[in-house]
Structure 1
Amino acid sequence: MGIQGLMSFVEDRSNEFFTDLKLRDTKIIIDSYAFFHRLCFNSNLELRYEGDYDAFTDVVQEFFESLFACNIHPYVVLDGGCDISDKKLTTLKDHAKEKIQTAHSLSLGGGGGVCPLLVREVFIQVLIKLQVCFVQCFSEADRDIMTLANHWNCPVLSSDSDFCIFGLKTGCCPLNIFQWRNMNTIKGTQYYTPAKCFSLDTFCHHFSNMNKALLPLFVVLCGNDHINLPILDTFLSKARLPLGATSSKGKRHHRVLGLLNWLSHFDNPTEALDNVLKYLPKKDGENVKELLCCSMEEYHQSQVKLQDFFQYGSYICPDTLNLGLPEWVLVALAKGQLSTFISDALVLRRTFLHTQVENMQQPNAHRISQPIRQIIYGLLLNVSPHLGNHTEAKAKLHHLQALLLGMLIGPLHGIINSPGKEDLQEDAAKVLYEEFQRVKEQTQLGMRLELDTAHIFCQWQCCLQMGVYLNQLLSTLLPEPDQTRLYSGSLVHGLCQQLLASTSVENLLSMCPKAKQLYQCLFNATRSYSPAELFLPQNKQGTTWSKNRMGTTSHTGCWYEGSNRFGLLMVENLEEHTEACQLQ
């Protein structure tokens, strides 16, 4: 959800509304959606190349290790699928359009932030590796988080302003002023994390000791993701909202400050709501009242008891009781073993596909993985998938080479960080790993995004993601790949440039025989599934390229559709980011 302008409003007055904490020896509940977005955008991660997942993994690990050092026990709560009532559908579409525009800006060298496609899957895998307790809700998690936090009397870590309104007993710690990188010690022995906690009591006291029960009405009048009634602008224009002596600089906080001062004059929500309706046409009054009251319900306790999951391994969600979903599906969703993509397709028969930094002049990269999605939809809805007449995916040999080379970063990291005595193998792995890091740094510093290359790697990620989802639906018949260090976008893009500039795979891997052997295994494994044309000697600017010494050939061969079962379908409009899953 979220109230526009509220979090920045209270943070601007942090001395008034926040208390200082030395956080240690406690449980803390983490709002995962806000958390991994904050880490993506505020940790100097490269976002143009659609996923430096190894760097993201390192940041997440550092964060949780700092909590462990302070004896803080984190419990992560993941949002689930889209709300089955569809009350946020318009908002979701608007957000999707904004992400497309941001991704387009990034692709052309502009600013902005779009989380990489697989960041949620990577995040879950890191949680599992670190043995951090987590649960995936069936839909939006905010109320469930609030209910769990009050049950445990522990704070919530989030950047969602709704947690300033929920009646949290122990308060909310905003992510951007949670100083996990600046641990301190008490008497030189016990670590703590400096933090600030929002105090709802102090906040209400500041506004003439306002009744807390008025805050849900404040939210819906201010506007959130659930309600944005144009008719409320009539009320806001006619009511003379008092700004008070502490008027905000600029206009962005005027509505927040004015509404809070205005509401503080009323004793309860019913009295305030009746006064709102006085400013509206009588014919609209009852409908508006019903909508406002319904939206205010979103700030009450949830019936979901997530504590049952952390204690017994399952919990009851009232929203699912009448949907007829199999028990194994609900359990797998709660454990994060099934993606929310699956629940959206099954329940809503509609999915939203994630925006990527790709070539916006080409058909959407998700189109290449449509045949896999059609199989998923067919299994979920018990219908036969109808696979479409696909165009070619224009991957070339150097794309495949760079992708496979990039996959070596995980094994190299494992060799370097494995316990035991140093040996020649570890030394060789370190040299190659450092060379890869140098390639990444060069790419991030100076290289302009090559859009066609970006598009191809976006297509590969789409196929990987849907392949993982299909595997989950089949109860993980195949071992799930470790995605935490499987793809590093800036490395793979940089390697593409090096391979085009005549660097050979053999020369690059000559320093590390173990990596060379692994690369050859990966390459041989892909060869039988690739078209023969990919490996034929090609002519480049009048020069014949001989067979590559690592079993590869020129950089110009195309990966033609003839042998690629995951082809690219043409689509021209914005709706390509939303898929309708119909029974027909």
Structure 2
Amino acid sequence: MGVRGLVTFIEKHPRIYRDVRFRMSRLVIDGANLLHLLYFDSGVYLIKTGVYLIKTGVYLLNTGLDQNHGGEYAAFEELIERFITTLRNCGVSPFVVLDGGSDYTDKKLDTVTQRAVDRIEKAHRAAWDDSEQNILPQLAKLMFTQTLARLEVPMAQCYAEADQEIAALANEWRCPVLSNDSDFYIFDLPAGFLPTSHFQWKAVEQSGSQSYIPCKNYNTRSFCILINIEHELLPTFAALAGNDYVKLQKMERPIRWTQFCPASDGIPSRLEGLLCWLRDFHQPEKALEAALGLMGELGTKRKKEVLQSLYLGMEEYKLPSSTLMRFFVDGVAPPFPTFEGVKGLIPDWTRLPLTQARLTSDILDVLLLQRNDLSIPVDHGDMASINLTSRPLRQVMYGLLLGKRRQLVNERDRDGLQLKVIPVQPAVRGVARQLTLESLDQAESSQRLQVLLDALGVTEASLSRLPPQLRLPVAVTCYWLQRAQPRPDQRLLKALLLGLSNGDALRQRAASQIQNKCYKQKLDVSVVHAFNQWQGCLKDSVYLNQLLGRPLEEPQIARLYEGTLVHDLVHQMRTGRKLKHFLKSDRSSVRQYSAMMAVINQFHCQEASTSHNQKTVTPPRRQPLEDLTANLQQLFLLCEDEMEVSSTVSVQEDLHLEDLLSVKTRYRAKKRNNRSKNPEVARKEERRGDVVLW
């Protein structure tokens, strides 16, 4: 929600806060707020062993993570780990609560629309002059939830906006809330509210043997005493001030609250004037009636509409019983809301994965509103939306969700610098026709996998020699190479695969890249656009994979992609620098690079053959591997081996890595070349266990 201007007003009255030493407590955390805080506002330091946070005497590098090159996910993971470790060292038990889908009544649609319009302008400005506009990278939220899950931090995703659920949980547990959302200055919380702007988790102090976090605590009682208004009038104050649901400033005759400010030398404040005016009232109803009188002549119908809007705004600050407490204690997901028209639209089996954040909340907007608000990353406004590339993947997801309902989904996306609504037809074809949403969780794993593979245009056999964590990213890369516009060149592909092949070492290498500021060359918007398309394809593929019950292993984003790194690799290749140093002494990464390139080359070989033999753009249904004849198996193994050997040679030539190969490795490469000429010998060697990837 958010009360416009309230945080600024509170900061001008520091006596409202109370200094505390926070430790040994539960803490309910506003997940969306923490995500933005850590990515945009945390000072970051880099030393040889990784990424660290503000410490006295350590050199300050910057005040946040890179925003324009597609995400510094490895460094972001380090920040999250540091934050959680700091809390636990102080005896604090964090409980993170995340926003879910849009409100079913759409009462916040105007606010959401305006924010999307603003984000389009900011994203274009960031791409135009490489400025920081606080545009969150596309995979940041996914990486955030993955990291919290790995750290075993209790986490819940709401079905709609989280503010009221956060406040209700903190009220029942009698513990504070950590956020910077101005609405928490209005909720009556027994243990108060800890603004993240005053939560000094990077400057932990000691008291005896106990560690604590210096911070400030806000309590509504202290606010009302200092300002001298009735405590019951706080929700009325928020509604009249204007929040995400109430827009009194758009009235035909908006109230000039500054006229009620006391005479002083300072600039009159709208909120101060409103608070001064409210001092004369003791009941919300009387205050609302008087406020209507200040709006001038209103017709009966208009007056009723305004009054209803104000009461609706006040209702948002009432604290219901927590629906999440049982989930955190017993692991039981809350029931779905019972609004009229909602019943039966959302299968019961989705409740638990949605609450666990193992299923994207986007599906709720599709099911309830037939709408999907798409991400708007940093990108030049003259270029087409990056979401066009991954639309066929979303169409498959829409088909699974809506089934026989045959409804279009309105995608809200960028068209130039305008926010447009594009009706999109769900796609139901192939194996997906045999599945229904109500029983999707019970479908055969082979069926669910085939739906995903068909959407990406790859086969299970082509991915079989890759490690499980790389199968989905490589399948996405094949899809991206086929559909991205303009078509990615070889430098982009090589840079991407080098990043994918680097695994855990990506964290240290990313730290080194940032520390040396190698990525600070001028932002190349064409490279940004290409990698944005890849990230969009990966995100939508991960969401489709989640809906299908994860038939492929979900990749860990922090160990998969580092935007600043791949941009720098493209720059190095374009300026003629050798990349030998990047994989030096890391033979496993070279093997992975080779294996991925082999799969991609094989994919291109198959696609070229299909295009040559058929004029239709729809790929033929692929025959399962177990049904192939012995001759087809032999042909497949021959093609696969030839591609792998070709790829191995290509790696050495392209990256100048031949000096990394030992005599034994070169012998094996030669041996595999001989195997490719005699598949029967190759199969005998495989049975003996002699075959290796490199």
* TM-score of the aligned structures, taking structure 2 as reference length: 0.71
Shift of the alpha carbon at 1:298? 1.0
Distance across 1 between alignment mates of 2:145 and 2:264: 43
Matched, 1:399 2:492: yes
Q: Secondary structure at the match of 1:278?
A: helix
Distance across 1 between alignment mates of 2:85 and 2:361: 28
Residue pair 1:4, 1:223 contacting (<8 A) in 2 also = yes
Shift of the alpha carbon at 1:331? 1.5
Distance across 1 between alignment mates of 2:314 and 2:550: 41
Question: What corresponds to 2:7 in structure 1?
Answer: 7
Amino acid at match of 1:525: V
Residue pair 1:443, 1:494 contacting (<8 A) in 2 also = no
Question: What corresponds to 1:319 in structure 2?
Answer: 337
Question: What corresponds to 2:592 in structure 1?
Answer: 518
Residue pair 1:117, 1:461 contacting (<8 A) in 2 also = yes
Structure-to-structure mapping, 1:410-429, within 5 angstroms: 410-412=503-505
Assess, with a 3 A threshold, how the Cα gap between structure 1 residues 503 and 390 changes in structure 2: closer, same or farther.
Answer: closer
Structure-to-structure mapping, 1:31-180, within 5 angstroms: 31-43=30-42, 44-108=64-128, 109-180=130-201
Shift of the alpha carbon at 1:270? 0.9
Matched, 1:255 2:270: yes
Cα deviations by residue, 1:523-562 (Å, 9 ceiling, x for unpaired): 223332346999xxxxxxxxxxx9995448889xxxxxxx
Matched, 1:385 2:427: yes
Structure number with greater Rg is: 2
Matched, 1:276 2:291: yes
Residue pair 1:135, 1:336 contacting (<8 A) in 2 also = yes
Assess, with a 3 A threshold, how the Cα gap between structure 1 residues 554 and 5 changes in structure 2: closer, same or farther.
Answer: same
Shift of the alpha carbon at 1:277? 1.5
Residue pair 2:400, 2:428 contacting (<8 A) in 1 also = no
Residue pair 1:439, 1:495 contacting (<8 A) in 2 also = no
Residue pair 1:116, 1:356 contacting (<8 A) in 2 also = yes
Matched, 1:298 2:299: no
Identity of aligned residues (%): 33
Amino acid at match of 1:335: Q
Question: What corresponds to 1:21 in structure 2?
Answer: 20
Shift of the alpha carbon at 1:404? 1.4
Distance across 2 between alignment mates of 1:240 and 1:449: 45
Structure-to-structure mapping, 1:422-461, within 5 angstroms: 433-434=508-509, 437-443=511-517, 446-461=520-535
Assess, with a 3 A threshold, how the Cα gap between structure 1 residues 51 and 311 changes in structure 2: closer, same or farther.
Answer: same
- When the two chains are superposed, the root-mean-square deviation of aligned CA atoms in Å is 2.6
Q: Secondary structure at the match of 1:135?
A: strand
Q: Secondary structure at the match of 1:407?
A: helix
Distance across 2 between alignment mates of 1:266 and 1:4: 22
Residue pair 2:187, 2:317 contacting (<8 A) in 1 also = yes
Q: Secondary structure at the match of 1:368?
A: helix
Amino acid at match of 2:153: V
Residue pair 1:374, 1:385 contacting (<8 A) in 2 also = yes
Cα deviations by residue, 1:479-536 (Å, 9 ceiling, x for unpaired): 11111221111111000011122234455424432322222223223332346999xx
Question: What corresponds to 1:429 in structure 2?
Answer: none
Question: What corresponds to 2:551 in structure 1?
Answer: 477
Distance across 2 between alignment mates of 1:151 and 1:33: 21
Question: What corresponds to 1:287 in structure 2?
Answer: 305
Q: Secondary structure at the match of 2:84?
A: helix
Question: What corresponds to 1:539 in structure 2?
Answer: none
Shift of the alpha carbon at 1:51? 0.8
Cα deviations by residue, 1:314-333 (Å, 9 ceiling, x for unpaired): 24345256431211111211
Structure-to-structure mapping, 1:315-354, within 5 angstroms: 315-317=333-335, 319-320=337-338, 322-324=342-344, 325-354=346-375
Cα deviations by residue, 1:104-155 (Å, 9 ceiling, x for unpaired): 1111223311111011100001101111001000000111111100100000
Distance across 1 between alignment mates of 2:391 and 2:22: 47
Q: Secondary structure at the match of 1:82?
A: coil
Assess, with a 3 A threshold, how the Cα gap between structure 1 residues 505 and 320 changes in structure 2: closer, same or farther.
Answer: farther
Residue pair 1:443, 1:493 contacting (<8 A) in 2 also = no
* Larger deviation, residues 512-521 vs 360-369: 512-521
Assess, with a 3 A threshold, how the Cα gap between structure 1 residues 243 and 485 changes in structure 2: closer, same or farther.
Answer: farther
Assess, with a 3 A threshold, how the Cα gap between structure 1 residues 47 and 250 changes in structure 2: closer, same or farther.
Answer: farther
Assess, with a 3 A threshold, how the Cα gap between structure 1 residues 501 and 159 changes in structure 2: closer, same or farther.
Answer: same
Amino acid at match of 2:141: R
Residue pair 1:117, 1:356 contacting (<8 A) in 2 also = yes
Residue pair 1:408, 1:515 contacting (<8 A) in 2 also = yes
Q: Secondary structure at the match of 1:410?
A: coil
Question: 275, 285, 307: which one pairs with 2:325?
Answer: 307
Distance across 1 between alignment mates of 2:285 and 2:253: 20
Amino acid at match of 2:504: P
Assess, with a 3 A threshold, how the Cα gap between structure 1 residues 311 and 243 changes in structure 2: closer, same or farther.
Answer: same
* Larger deviation, residues 82-91 vs 436-445: 436-445
Where relative contact order (Cα < 8 A, 6+ residues apart) is larger, the structure is 1
Distance across 1 between alignment mates of 2:120 and 2:254: 33
Distance across 1 between alignment mates of 2:276 and 2:165: 30
Question: What corresponds to 1:217 in structure 2?
Answer: 236
Residue pair 1:138, 1:317 contacting (<8 A) in 2 also = no
Structure-to-structure mapping, 1:188-227, within 5 angstroms: 189-208=209-228, 210-227=229-246
Distance across 1 between alignment mates of 2:198 and 2:253: 37
Distance across 2 between alignment mates of 1:508 and 1:199: 53
Distance across 1 between alignment mates of 2:183 and 2:551: 40
Amino acid at match of 1:46: D
Shift of the alpha carbon at 1:347? 1.5
Distance across 1 between alignment mates of 2:233 and 2:111: 25
Question: What corresponds to 1:572 in structure 2?
Answer: none
Cα deviations by residue, 1:434-486 (Å, 9 ceiling, x for unpaired): 5x544344556631110010000000000000100101110111111111221
Residue pair 1:304, 1:318 contacting (<8 A) in 2 also = no
Question: What corresponds to 1:426 in structure 2?
Answer: none
Distance across 1 between alignment mates of 2:231 and 2:545: 47
- Say how many residue pairs are matched: 518
Unaligned runs of 5+ in 2: 43-63, 405-425, 430-454, 456-481, 609-645, 656-694
Question: What corresponds to 2:478 in structure 1?
Answer: none
Residue pair 2:24, 2:91 contacting (<8 A) in 1 also = yes
Assess, with a 3 A threshold, how the Cα gap between structure 1 residues 270 and 219 changes in structure 2: closer, same or farther.
Answer: same
Shift of the alpha carbon at 1:8? 1.9
Shift of the alpha carbon at 1:84? 0.6
